[in-house]
């Protein structure tokens, strides 16, 4: 299947971009291609169910909890032991340890479970997509910055009173604050600019 896919892909590429050198195609055919063709979703309900597993899944499902011992304060649950070739087994933990491990899977407010990487990431699209569109001869749609009486949103509003506006004191790149940021805040009482 990979040979057929590679041939069809390269044939379409030759039609779309005819001036690519032959050495480019030689490099493409030198490597083995791996094609992962998964059975498509049956309907929209299966798509929603599939995405829901990633966006709303909790750390452990109820059916995996086998026993709760209130006297000894333990929880027994089923699990896969990946150290033993994925064999299904049960594990018993104290309630404190079970809750500690469960809480490690709770995301802080504002974090998302699904993130986009590579060409789908926001940083990549912002930096390289306009140049790519220009190279392919696509019309670049400029972002409209005019305010034409748009509906007011709650973005930038105080999360407590919902009336005041938040002001940005410090902004970071996509990797978050520097390691010494908290130390710097506690040393200085005045806001960092």
The predicted structure's pLDDT at residue 193: 46
* Rounded alpha-carbon distances, angstroms, from residue 9 to 3, 136, 137, 191: 10, 17, 20, 55
Domain ranges of the chain: 58-103
Angle at 100 between CA 59 and CA 98, to 5 degrees: 70
Report the 10 Å Cβ neighbour count for 83. Answer: 7
pLDDT tens-digit map of 111-151: 766 666 676 677 777 778 788 778 877 666 665 555 554 45
Strand 74-81 to strand 87-94: parallel, antiparallel, or no bridges (unpaired)?
Answer: antiparallel
The predicted structure's pLDDT at residue 187: 59
pLDDT above 60: residue 74: yes
Span of 16-30, 44-58, 147-161 with lowest mean pLDDT: 147-161
Give the model's confidence band at 76: pLDDT under 50 very low, under 70 low, under 90 confident, else very high. Answer: very high
pLDDT tens-digit map of 148-162: 544 556 677 787 787
Identify the top-confidence range among 37-41, 81-85, 154-158: 81-85
Q: Give the mean pLDDT of 95-100.
A: 93
pLDDT above 90: residue 69: yes
Report the distance separating Cα 98 and Cα 111, nearest Å.
Answer: 23
The predicted structure's pLDDT at residue 192: 47
Report the distance separating Cα 180 and Cα 110, nearest Å.
Answer: 22
Where is pLDDT greater, at 83 or 56?
83
């Amino acid at each position: 299947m990979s040979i057929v896919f590679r041939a069809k892909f390269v044939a379409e590429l030759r039609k779309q971009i005819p001036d690519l050198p032959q050495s480019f195609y030689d490099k493409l055919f030198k490597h083995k291609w791996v094609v992962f063709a998964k059975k498509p979703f049956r309907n929209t309900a299966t798509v929603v169910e599939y995405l829901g597993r990633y966006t709303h899944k909790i750390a452990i499902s109820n059916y995996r909890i086998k026993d709760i011992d209130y006297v000894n304060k333990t929880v027994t649950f089923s699990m896969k032991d990946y150290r033993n070739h994925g064999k299904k087994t049960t594990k018993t933990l104290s309630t404190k340890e079970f809750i500690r491990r469960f809480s490690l899977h709770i995301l802080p407010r504002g974090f998302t479970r699904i993130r986009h990487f590579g060409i789908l990431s926001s940083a990549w699209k912002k930096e390289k997509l306009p140049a790519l569109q220009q190279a392919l001869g696509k019309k670049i749609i400029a972002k409209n910055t005019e305010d034409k009486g748009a509906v007011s949103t709650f973005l930038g509003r105080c999360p407590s009173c919902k009336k005041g506006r938040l002001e940005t004191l410090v902004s970071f790149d996509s990797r978050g604050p520097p390691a010494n940021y908290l130390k710097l805040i506690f040393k200085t009482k005045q806001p960092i600019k």
